[in-house]
Structure 1
Amino acid sequence: MEFRRLGRSGLKISEISYGNWLTHGSQVEEDAALACVEAALDEGITTFDTADVYAGTRAEEVLGRALTGRRREGLEIFTKVYFPTGPGQNDRGLSRKHVFESIHASLRRLKTDYVDLYQAHRFDYETPLEETLRAFDDLVRQGKVLYVGVSEWRADEIERALRIADEMGFDRIVSSQPQYSMLWRVIESEVVPVCEREGIGQIVWSPIAQGVLTGKYKPGQPRPEGSRATDDKGGSDMIGRYLDDDLLTRVQELRPIAGDLGLSMAQLAIAWVLQNPNVASAIVGASRPEQVRDNVKAAGVRLDADVLKKIDDVLGPFVERDPSRTISPSTRP
């Protein structure tokens, strides 16, 4: 495993992070989830990403049990706040009330006294940004949060938060967690330049595009049983936009590129996002330990310019680059 600094902070994280969004507490049984975390630790992953809302709070609980007994100082545990965790009007969003209640619940579920990174899971248009940033800063001062970040925020929203933090003396955002892959590059034109200038690192999710870039979905063929495309707990909703036969045909054309490099297609996809110098880590998820072991082999891989051009030539018309595709709900969900 190799490690990178998170933006200009002093925190170093593993190039490959382990995330449990659509798996722990939902898609796979707990024994399998624990085995995946064990494999991640064995392979040198130290960075673990989750959120209070994943699997209705169960994902944090599973991760907390999986990491029990591990040396806390040797881990970086990340979680998030914004989406609903209960039925009440204040069980969501980025109000001071919900931020404080959510972190305390997350710490209980994760069985830890602090999280290394606390992230605003979306931008909250119903809460003054000053209120959210003050709440985050208070948690930093209390030692319950070491660093703060955001997920799926647009460039102008990040800039507003930085300006307020500087004016009010709050801790600055050190990270952004966007979707990013060969097929989804909406951060490149606006978010990445702002973050490079301001010392913010990207921790990217879905580097294999919900599994599509592994090549397991074949054009004109039924979706594999047990795959995300057949998951009725949220996975199939996310992957649907990629299950176009023309796109899947193009993805199969990446197979010889990966083969020439001695990489699996998943390794090629993960290595691709790590070529971006603003990316600190790529989040991978897994339902089986062997998937973790395959994915971590992307750490340290360097792709030359010719390879990157071949990938662009293959996927060209199917790459999404529009920065307006980064959207937070106009009202709390």
Structure 2
Amino acid sequence: MEYRQLGKSGLRVPVLSFGAGTFAGKGPLFGNWGTTNVDEARQLVEICLEAGVNLFDSADVYSDGDSETVLGKALVGLRDQVLISTKAALPMGDGPMDAGTSRSRLIKSVDEALKRLQTDYIDLFQLHGFDKFTPVEEVLYTLDNLVRQGKIRYIGASNFSGWELMKSLGVSDSHGYPRQVAHQVYYSLTGRDYEWELMPLGMDQGVGAMVWSPLGWGRLTGKIRRNAPIPEGSRLHETASFGPPVDDEHLYGIVDVLDDIAGETGKTVPQIAINWLLQRPTVSSVIIGARNQQQLRDNLGAVGWSLQPDQVKRLDEASYQMPAYPYYPYRTQEGFARINPPVV
């Protein structure tokens, strides 16, 4: 397993990490992701550790906290071997203090996560979304205190826009608070919006990407084919509806190239899609999930080899979409490119 620095920090993380969104499985979204119990989770954890994957990611909102509970039980006796990442900000109830990142909510969220995870500290604590109702200074001052108390080691963000993340970094720099060193983002061959603004920001500011849904909300599992029905038992209809739409022809064009490269390399479609991500700038770790051991072992096969330059180029071309304004001039006009060349 390859390990990389998490952004501009001293924390080294595996290029593949495990997402515990499939643990417990409650509700319309997480119930379709998976219903892994404690015994099954322990088996998946052991497979990960054997492969060198020692970072496990969860969130309080995953199955109403039950994902963290299952993960905590699965990691009993293994705490000194693993890194734990979790998140808070999204609603956990209908009460006025059940959402957001106010000082009160953050302190409560961290303490409750520590109990569910059965640990004294969280290696990486991420804000699951930007809270426009709470001053950024309040958020970062509270996180600074939690770091000083030893409850959190590093902080990060998730699903922030460029201005939201940059404002947070600016406040940290001006007050001497810990900087967010990670940004957990959606990025895949079917969704490359991350490249437009957040990737250049990450390169400039030293923020590493932790990629979620690298298989495009289930579209790049190898089960979707041109002129073929969705396989019986597939959960694509349930899971993909929560993510951004993808034009069918655009998707099939990507899958066609993935199939061709699979034939050339002997690798599976998911392995190729994940390996492509590992070659992108700023990517520190790709979060893989699995409902069973077979899926996990297949995803672990995405490392230990690299796509050839011509294969990367073909995937780049098949998955390319024109960026929105004001980003597209940098890709299409020579004058803009001379002063602001594209990152990829």
Same fold (TM over 0.5): yes
Amino acid at match of 1:183: T
- Residue 285 (structure 1) aligned with residue 275 (structure 2): no
Query: Is the Cα contact below 8 Å between 1:229 and 1:239 reproduced in 2?
Result: no
2:170 to 163, 168, 174: 163
- Alignment of 1:229 onto 2:236: yes
Q: Residue in 2 aligned with 1:265? A: 269
8 Å CA contact 1:96, 1:132 repeated in 2: yes
Number of positions where the alignment pairs a residue of Structure 1 with one of Structure 2: 318
- Given residue 198 of structure 2, which amino acid in structure 1 is its aligned partner? V
Q: How much does 1:124 deviate? A: 0.6
Residue 7 (structure 1) aligned with residue 14 (structure 2) = no
SS of 1:21's partner is helix
- 1:136 Cα offset (Å): 0.8
Superposed CA offset, 1:49-104 (max 9, x none): 1100011111111111111111x232110000111112311011011111110011
What residue in structure 2 maps to residue 180 of structure 1? 187
Question: Match for 1:106: what amino acid?
Answer: A
Could you tell me which amino acid in structure 2 is paired with residue 209 of structure 1? G
TM superposition shift of 1:41: 2.1
Whole-Å separation in 1 of the counterparts to 2:202 and 2:106 = 24
One-letter identity of the residue aligned with 1:14: P
Q: Are residues 320 and 29 of structure 1, via their aligned partners in 2, closer, same or farther at CA, if it must alter by over 3 Å?
A: farther
Stretches of structure 1 lacking an aligned partner (at least 5 in a row) = 325-333
CA distance in 2, matches of 1:236, 1:190: 24
**Do the aligned residues in 2 keep the contact of 1:228 with 1:239 (CA within 8 Å)?**
no
Distance 1:240 1:156, change over 3 A: closer
Q: Select the structure with the greater relative contact order (CA < 8 A; seq sep ≥ 6).
A: 1
Shift of residue 123, structure 1, vs aligned partner:
0.6
State the AA in 2 paired with 1:109.
R
Corresponding residue SS for 2:18: strand
In structure 1, the partner of 2:129 is 122
Letter in 1 for 2:241: D
Of residues 47, 63, 71, the one that matches 2:71 is: 63
- The answer on whether the counterparts of 1:186 and 1:323 sit within 8 Å (CA) in structure 2 is no
TM-score normalized with structure 2 length: 0.86
Q: Specify which of 131, 136, 140 is matched with residue 143 of structure 2.
A: 136
The farther-off stretch of 167-176 and 21-30 is 21-30
The amino acid of 1:17's aligned partner reads S
Pairs within 5 Å for 1:69-218: 69-70=77-78, 72-218=79-225
Q: 1:212-267 CA distances to partner (integer Å, 9 max, x unpaired)?
A: 11220234444334433254xxx242357248366235413421112212311111
RMSD value, Cα:
2.1
SS in 2 for 1:241: coil
Deviation string, structure 1 residues 260-288 (Cα, Å, up to 9, x no partner) = 12311111111111101310000000001
